[in-house]
Amino acid sequence: RFAFSRPVILRGITDNSAFRALCTRKKLLAAFGTLPVRLSTANTYSYRKVDVPFQEYVEQLLKPQDPARLGSDTLYFFGDNNFTEWGPLFQQYVPPAFRIPGTSPAYSFGIAGSGSGVPFHWHGPGFSEVIFGRKRWFLYPPDKTPHFHPNETTLAWLHNTYPTLPPAERPLECTLRPGEVLYFPDRWWHATLNLDTSVFISTFLG
3-state secondary structure of 102: coil
Is residue 125's pLDDT more than 90? yes
What does the pLDDT look like over 78-118, one tens digit per residue? 988 877 889 999 999 999 999 999 999 999 999 999 999 99
Does pTM top 0.85 for this prediction?
yes
Q: How far apart (Å, rounded) are the C-alpha atoms in residues 154 and 138?
A: 9
Amino acid code (one letter) for 180: E
DSSP per-residue codes, 59-98? III-SPPPTTS-GGG-EEEES---TTTSHHHHTT----S-
Burial of 47 (0-12, 13-18, 19+ CB in 10 A): middle
Range from 41-55, 128-142, 145-159 carrying the lowest mean pLDDT: 41-55
CATH class belonging to 8-205: mainly beta
Query: What pLDDT is attached to residue 80?
Result: 85
Tell me the per-residue pLDDT of 6-42, one tens digit each, with 9 for 90 and over.
999 999 999 999 999 999 999 999 999 999 999 999 9
What are the structural domain ranges in the chain? 8-205
